[in-house]
Amino acid sequence: MHSNNPGNKIIRHGDHIQLNFGGFVSLSTVDWRGRSACTVFFRGCPLRCSYCQNEAIQTGSDLRDIEAITDMIMTSSPFISGVVFSGGEPTLQKEALLALARFAKKQHLAVGIQTNGQFPATLEALIAESLADRIAIDYKTRWEGFSSMPGDHAPVPRDNYQKNIKKSIAICKKALREQVIREFEIVITVFYENEEYIKEIAAQIGTIPLVLQQGEHKIGNLQATASDISHGEYISKRRSLQELHPPLTLAEIKKIADELGRTVRIRTREAGEITYESDWRCRDARKRQR
């Protein structure tokens, strides 16, 4: 695939860099609060979160020359002030991510990264070249069982993930302190089952902005069984599973936040994103009851 825009070419040691491409949203107002951005989705992720919204791009191959992606960004550029790299896992494809971030910066576009934190070396490389303005790390709790699912990447041992995400957080904290990045946040997807882990993580991350995102269960083995059942059967199976395990409501997530005793942002389907000052009195009252 060749670029229509000659000024838009990235060459690295004479080789084309390719991206395992997952998708492109030409204009998004939800991926970067307060900005219009385009979003580039990278295909491939070594984790297998049971609730993944982007399971269609966890695996597989759709290789595109980088110039095809920079053309897409250029088409959006009159309408945006930033580019978000998401996935899948963007930091898994280090060279492609660095090349695209360099390109975006050359176009005077801000760069946002959404990552699971598994590849600290990529974050380090981005920060070393001042190629990121905003980093959001999705912190996967131990409950989510990501290490045991099959796929075309080796499973990620939990201890390995814990080690890597801690490194990633330390790197981003330092970059924020030194004003190399301007925004840094930790995002946790919340279910009934992982409340205890949320408290542990909140204690570990200190004052880093925290987003609690409403989680929604999915059918774990959808891809394996989809061809065996009709679409109608699938919808009904999925609905009954989701009725058994409905997402937490905004009020329930606020209760979790009260236990943390800090300000958080909460994202739900019903209310969008809100900033919530936790009710410290609730937490203190519960402590007194114990």
Q: Is 40 in the site for ligand SF4 (CB under 6 A)?
A: no
User: Token pair of 192, please?
Assistant: 């009934």
Task: Kindly report each contact of residues 177-183 with a partner whose C-beta sits within 8 Å and lies 24 or more positions away, as own/partner.
Answer: 180/127, 180/130, 181/127, 181/132, 181/133, 181/134, 181/135, 182/133, 182/134, 183/112, 183/133, 183/134, 183/135, 183/209
20-28, 52-60, 77-85, 260-268 -> range binding ligand SF4 (CB under 6 A): 52-60
Q: How far is the CB of 181 from ligand SF4 (least distance, A)?
A: 20
Q: How far is the CB of 145 from ligand SF4 (least distance, A)?
A: 11
Query: Which residues make beta-bridge pairs with 258?
Result: none
Q: Is 254 in the site for ligand SF4 (CB under 6 A)?
A: no
CB 211, CB 186: distance < 8 Å: yes
87-95, 101-109, 156-164, 277-285 -> range binding ligand SF4 (CB under 6 A): 87-95
Size of the site for ligand SF4 (CB under 6 A): 12
Q: Is 93 in the site for ligand SF4 (CB under 6 A)?
A: no
Decide whether 18 or 59 has the Cβ nearer to ligand SF4. 59
Q: Is 31 in the site for ligand SF4 (CB under 6 A)?
A: no
List the one residue from 35, 43, 48, 134 that touches ligand SF4 (CB under 6 A). 48
* Alpha carbon separation from 257 to 3, 120, 212, 271 (Å, rounded): 48, 28, 8, 16
List the one residue from 37, 45, 156, 256 that touches ligand SF4 (CB under 6 A). 45
Q: How far is the CB of 198 from ligand SF4 (least distance, A)?
A: 16
User: Could you give the CA distance from residue 154 to residue 265 in angstroms, rounded to a whole number?
Assistant: 34
Q: Is 43 in the site for ligand SF4 (CB under 6 A)?
A: no
Q: Give the closest residue to 74 by CA, choosing from 113, 98, 108, 112.
A: 108
List the one residue from 89, 96, 164, 201 that touches ligand SF4 (CB under 6 A). 89
Q: Count of alpha carbons within 13 Å of 99, Cβ hemisphere only?
A: 21
Q: Is 186 in the site for ligand SF4 (CB under 6 A)?
A: no
Q: Is 74 in the site for ligand SF4 (CB under 6 A)?
A: no
Query: Which residues make beta-bridge pairs with 81?
Result: none
Q: Is 117 in the site for ligand SF4 (CB under 6 A)?
A: no
47-55, 180-188, 197-205, 248-256 -> range binding ligand SF4 (CB under 6 A): 47-55
Q: Which residues bind ligand SF4 (CB under 6 A)?
A: 45, 47-49, 52, 54, 58, 87-89, 116, 138
